[in-house]
Structure 1
Amino acid sequence: MIQFQEAVIQKHLQSDGYETHYRLWGQPQGEDVIILLHGGISHSEWQSPIGERLSSNSKISFIAVDRRGSGLNAIDRGHLPSKEREIEDMVSFIRAFEGSYTRIHLAGWCFGAQVAAIVASVLEKEGVLSSFLMIAPGFAFQERYGDVLRLTKHAMFEVIKEFNLNPEPNHAFMPVPLQSTDFTDNTDWHEYVLNDELRLWKVTESTYKVWSELADWSHLALSEIKKLPMLVVFGNKERLVDNESVKQLVQERVKSSVIRMEMLEAGHAVQFDKPEQLTEIITSFIVEVQ
């Protein structure tokens, strides 16, 4: 059974009154902090393997935030109202830590890396960030998952049309076609994912639309990252992300002089399969860019 050490859970108030929850490992102030954005159906607790090891083996603080509609955020679960709101949430959240840490390092896992790329393109101009990290970034899907996702959305929209349905905007009814085996081969983690009451298996129609808009925006945002040192970590047992396409995209678009790429023997949830190696890579990268 997967068990975690207790993280400090806190809240950040957004401009529209929404409370964004986050988990903190390490000190609430200091030199370096990594702020990580999670993927589509997951939440901050999925990043515990990184947070626990960073706080135990270094002085780097680690914050994993629950994006709107996810994790510990109980209001409008599975609902994203707009792409602008999503980015404003994360920009506001990160700015809130400028007075607490000397250096802020932005990170994203899975779809969270796409959201983080947009945020990085905004905050780089303000000098807020010291580096940018992406873990199993979901900029391009393998053909199998891309087809499954497309067919799932098409089928749901056909049902809505056939029965002339008009779902409430914040009602999460559309399934996300992901299985525990898409993330890892580890059976203990399969059990964790299947029993995780905070994961999202259904989202609103708006969320699917916003996800697509953010994905398109993130490709453009990569081209606007000009100076931030960058770390990209892939798993060679991926069942979701097309690693080679993502590598090519990063190399063609990002203009930073420092782009470090690493490949680990892991599935999509690299933090599940190789937490020690992943944390060592992250730590060494942070030390290099200090």
Structure 2
Amino acid sequence: MAQQQAATALAEPTHRYVEVEGLKLHYLDWGGDPGKRTFVLLHGGAAHAHWWDGVAPLLTPYGRVLALDFRGHGRSQWAKSGVYGPPAYLNDVRGLIESLGTRVILVGHSMGGAVAQWVAVTHPELLAALIIVDAPHGPPPLFRRLMWRWRRKSQGGIRPELRSAEDIIRKFRLQPPQTYLTRLEVERLALLGAEQLPSGAWAFRFDPETRAWRKHGARMTKPKIRKITMPTLLLRGDQSALVSASHVALMHRKIRGSVLKEIPRAFHHVPLDNPGDTAAATIEFVEKM
């Protein structure tokens, strides 16, 4: 896998867009043969499609690979109505897949994994397989929810503007913060999720209102994952503080026929910490389908 990773390190994706519910959504197209299969990769909350930069090129020999920016994230359009949250993100994914005209292997990390569970339950006809990466069934642990609630209060509203790219780098934090990324890799990730404004100031490509989706009346209960019948792979970072080993084992028991695998040397941000083993586990799974 290391040799394959080195061989694909220079690969660059194509920027593409699809309109869903009047919003222009951005996704990265890494290429690959859709005649084999199509992967759709979903990022977590407050993240963006580049979370998959280390994994996506490793999957292209096995099919076409796309990575979506949810509305209000990355290069996707913001929802002026403030309609965010899992129900809206489910519609983003459904709209993209329907535009492709083929069933996909849906791969979701963190919040993207929660959305992927809902897609599998409500629109199983769209999926050939499901891969859930360090995402719980239901809400995260209480202490994490309380931390995010505080962050929503302190950072909601108008998008902050910073003076320079260096300020973007200083401001950027992974949540949870634990990672095996180097300092330079973290800086690159920060800048990929930021932009320079016409005024010369800098800002993150992220609508702070995504954190306040509940105030617009959006609600979503836990999906009934016992209903999931397509081939399913559960991946957990072996050092994740967000998804416990016992929790993912319970998910494994509820989803009949699912496969469970821990990714070594990975905290919660599995695709960032260990893209090689994440891709290898994905490839092994789909090749056995």
**TM-score normalised by the shorter chain: which range applies?**
0.7 to 0.9
Report the Cα offset of residue 152 of structure 1: 3.5
1:53 aligned residue (52, 58, 67): 58
Q: How many residues align?
A: 260
In structure 2, C-alpha distance between the alignment counterparts of 1:78 and 1:6, rounded to whole Å: 33
Unaligned runs of 5+ in 2: 1-8, 161-171, 195-203
SS at match of 1:130: strand
Query: In structure 2, how many angstroms separate the alpha carbons of the residues matched to 1:282 and 1:75?
Result: 31
> Alpha-carbon deviation of 1:251?
3.3
Which secondary structure does the structure 2 equivalent of 1:209 belong to? helix
Whether contact under 8 Å (1:181, 1:190) holds in the other structure is no
The answer for the alignment partner of 1:253 in structure 2 is 254
In the alignment, which of 123, 135, 138 is matched to residue 137 of structure 1?
Answer: 135
Q: SS of 1:251's equivalent?
A: helix
In the TM superposition, what are the counterparts of 1:160-179 in structure 2 within 5 Å? 171=158, 179=174
Deviates more, 1:62-71 or 1:26-35: 26-35
**Which residue is equivalent to 2:166?**
none
Cα gap change, 1:62 to 1:274, in 2 (>3 Å)? same
Alpha carbons of structure 1 residues 185 and 259: separation in structure 2 relative to 1, 3 Å = closer
Indicate which of 177, 194, 199 corresponds to 1:182: 177
Question: 1:128: Cα distance to partner?
Answer: 2.7
User: Percent of aligned pairs with the same residue?
Assistant: 19
Cα separation, partners in 2 of 1:12 and 1:281, compared to 1, 3 Å: same
Q: What is the CA-CA distance between 1:283 and the residue it aligns to?
A: 0.5
Q: Does 1:9 align with 2:15?
A: yes
Deviations 1:39-82 (A, max 9, x none): 11111111111111112xx2322111111111111434895446
Q: Which amino acid aligns with 1:111?
A: M
Distance 2:252 2:112 in 1: 19
Task: Describe the SS at the equivalent of 1:88.
Answer: helix
* Cα distance in 1 for residues equivalent to 2:147 and 2:188: 23
Q: Structure 1 259/119 Cα, relative in aligned 2: closer, same or farther at 3 Å?
A: same
1:114-171 CA deviation, whole Å, 9 max, x = no partner?
01111111221xx331110011114453554333223344x559xx9xxxxxx6xxx5
Distance in 1 between the 2:247 and 2:205 partners? Answer: 25
Within a 5 Å distance, the mapping from 1:46-195 to structure 2 comes to 46-55=51-60, 58-76=61-79, 79-81=82-84, 83-99=86-102, 103-124=103-124, 127-139=125-137, 140-142=139-141, 144-153=143-152, 156=154, 171=158, 179=174, 182-187=177-182, 188-195=184-191
2:164 alignment counterpart:
none
Deviates more, 1:109-118 or 1:75-84: 75-84
Q: Using the alignment, how far apart are the partners of 1:186 and 1:82 within structure 2?
A: 28
Measure how far apart 1:186 and its partner are: 2.2
Whole-angstrom distance in 2 between the partners of 1:18 and 1:277: 34
Over 3 Å counting, the alpha-carbon distance change for 1:242 and 1:10 in structure 2 is: same
Letter of the structure 2 residue corresponding to residue 104 of structure 1:
V
Structure 2 residue matching 1:231: 3-state secondary structure: strand
2:285 aligned with 1:285, yes or no? yes
Give the Cα–Cα distance (whole angstroms) in 1 for the partners of residues 136 and 130 of structure 2.
15
Sort the Cα spacing of 1:285 and 1:148 in 2 relative to 1 into closer, same or farther, 3 A.
Answer: same
Residue aligning to 1:40 = 45
Equivalent-residue separation in structure 2 for 1:288 and 1:141 (angstroms): 31
Is it true that 1:243 corresponds to 2:262 in the alignment?
no
SS in 1 for 2:32: coil
Which residue identity does 2:245 align to in structure 1? Answer: E
Provide the TM-score with structure 2 as the length reference.
0.76
Q: TM-score, normalised by structure 1?
A: 0.76
Structure-2 change in CA distance of 1:8 and 1:209 (3 Å): same
Partners of 2:134 and 2:243 within 8 A in 1: no
**What are the ranges of 5 or more consecutive residues in structure 1 without an aligned counterpart?**
161-166
Measure, in 2, the Cα distance between the counterparts of 1:13 and 1:28. Answer: 23
Aligned-pair distance for 1:260?
3.0
